[in-house]
Amino acid sequence: MFNSQKDQLFSLIKSLTKAEKRSFKLYANRFQGGADTKFIQLFDVIDRLAEYDEQEVLKRLPEVKKKHLPNLKRHLYKQILTSLRLIYIQKNIDIQIREQLDFARILYGKGMYMQSLRMLDRIKKIAVDHHQDLLHLEILEFQKMIEARHITRSRLVENKMEALLDEAAQRSFIAHSNNLFSNFNIQVHGWYIQHGHVNNEEEISAINEYFHENRPSEFLHNRKLTFFEKANLFQAYMWYHYILLDFEGAARYARQWAGLFHTQPQIREKDPDLYMRSLYYLLVFLYLLREKEEFAHYLEEFQQFEADNQDLLNDNSRMIAFTYLNLSRLNYYLVSKDFQGGEQFIAKVKAQLPRYQEYTDVHRILLFYFKFAYLYFCLRKFEKALEYLNQIIHLKSGHLRDDLQINARLLHLICHYDLNNFDMIDYLAPSVNRLLDNSSDVSQLPRLTLRFLEALSKSPPLEHPKAFAAFQSQLKIIMQEPFERKSLNYLDIPAWVEGHLGVVRKERV
């Protein structure tokens, strides 16, 4: 379901909108007759197929021999991308600059180097205004090459050459610095992916040492950082604090990251994906902190941006918007405890999921399923919760993050308990125990919860209220430990225990 291997050309054609197909046909029909029309016929054949079948393609195109089909497919693939480039050149500033840079190279090749220089001067300003640092550097290097090889009369203008050389040197320095900051961001994020959250003082020392060794400190002083240097730096600090289970610190740097786009709003248009990513992670940390009002504020900002900029978003951006925005909306229903509203919203998300499922990371899809399951669990619709949990647990391919697997398995057992399926707990508990043993990032709470559920399944129901009370006392002690903070992120075991004790109190009254 999630990792189907499809023909690249087939996937590209199926991803096209009606408008993109129409533009391709207009672009392609400029060819007349001969072999050129065959790629248009191939496009039509593949567009009509529900699944790619090479034999069916050859059957519908009898004039195309099997040995010629790969070359024809490559030609069609290139033509589709070329037509898409003509569409998106109006939306992507970097594509616009690259086109003008290509034109400047063509002019230079024709011997019109003065015209080439004038074009380079014009697009250089655009690159600067839109923080296209690498393209800016490429333009400068091209200008230097022309100036070095030809008499351009630039030396008659006072300090023009010196200014060009100074600008190139400064831009090279910034490009190097920005590379180090982006490396730093990736390195810290990579530490979290590999090691997860800290579990003890030794791991705190290890991440502190790693963080300070890799931080490009020499570039933090004596100059103003560029937009993307700041963005990478704030992300690195955000991940650092998250690894340390300092959700307040992580949220603080996520706010600064998102705030960069308020100071330079034109970059929201240039890189909407990065802007939406900043809002999503800020919303994640606000969810973990249960900051309902601030969460609502940034969720509204996210929703407004997505609604106002539909025309600016490409397919990838729409997929990101769908995933990040709807996961955030589900979190808002949870943090607001509006479980019935969340249940109604599930139907809207499910209706749209198939459209994005093929191109979305499997973990994101299953994260949706876990949110669905948790909402149903909060509504005490345990059978519905199990439907989605089973899809997570029984996935045969793809690597899931340990925290998602562990939370899904524990919630799965809890649902079976609340359905009085005690035999299922006995049957499933050993596999959950093996999962916990094989995970490198497990705190005390999941292990205690598993042992508690195993004990409940073996004890008489009349003894369960007493067992819940004793377990609650245990929880109060271990939840005082800072390294247990992560255990409450997405599965609130203490709230479940309190719910059962509350039912007992009501029955006694």
- CB 324, CB 277: distance < 8 Å: yes
The residues, ordered by sequence, that sit 6+ positions from 492 with a Cβ below 8 Å of its Cβ are none
Structure-token pair, residue 149: 């090889």
Round the CA-based radius of gyration of the chain to a whole number and report it.
29
Distance, in Å, from the CA atom of 260 to the CA atom of 278, rounded to the nearest integer, reads 10
The residues, ordered by sequence, that sit 6+ positions from 488 with a Cβ below 8 Å of its Cβ are 445, 479, 494
- CB 154, CB 161: distance < 8 Å: yes
The H helix count followed by the E strand count for the chain is 24, 0
Chain-centroid distance, C-alpha 430: 34
420's torsion region: left (phi>0), alpha (psi -120 to 50) or beta?
left
Q: What is the DSSP letter of 3?
A: -
3-class secondary-structure state, position 62: coil
Q: Select from 207, 213, 190 the least CA-distant residue to 245.
A: 207
DSSP labels, 455-499: HHHHS-GGGHHHHHHHHHHHHHHHTTSGGGGGGGSS--HHHHHHH
- CB 273, CB 316: distance < 8 Å: yes
Distance, in Å, from the CA atom of 331 to the CA atom of 337, rounded to the nearest integer, reads 10
Per-residue pLDDT of the chain (509 residues; tens, 9 = 90+): 444 446 889 989 988 888 889 889 888 887 555 455 788 899 999 999 988 999 999 999 988 888 889 999 999 999 999 888 888 776 778 888 888 999 999 988 888 878 888 899 999 988 888 888 889 989 998 888 888 777 565 555 556 778 888 888 888 888 888 889 999 999 999 999 888 888 889 999 999 999 999 999 888 776 788 899 999 999 999 999 999 999 999 999 999 999 999 988 888 888 899 999 999 999 999 999 999 999 999 999 999 999 999 877 888 889 999 999 999 999 999 999 999 999 999 999 999 988 887 777 788 889 999 999 999 999 999 999 999 999 999 875 555 567 888 899 999 999 999 999 999 999 999 999 998 888 766 778 889 999 999 999 999 999 999 999 999 999 988 888 777 767 677 788 999 999 898 754 444 43
pTM, rounded to two decimals: 0.79
Distance, in Å, from the CA atom of 322 to the CA atom of 54, rounded to the nearest integer, reads 33
Q: Select from 249, 242, 274 the least CA-distant residue to 261.
A: 274
Structure-token pair, residue 417: 């308990």
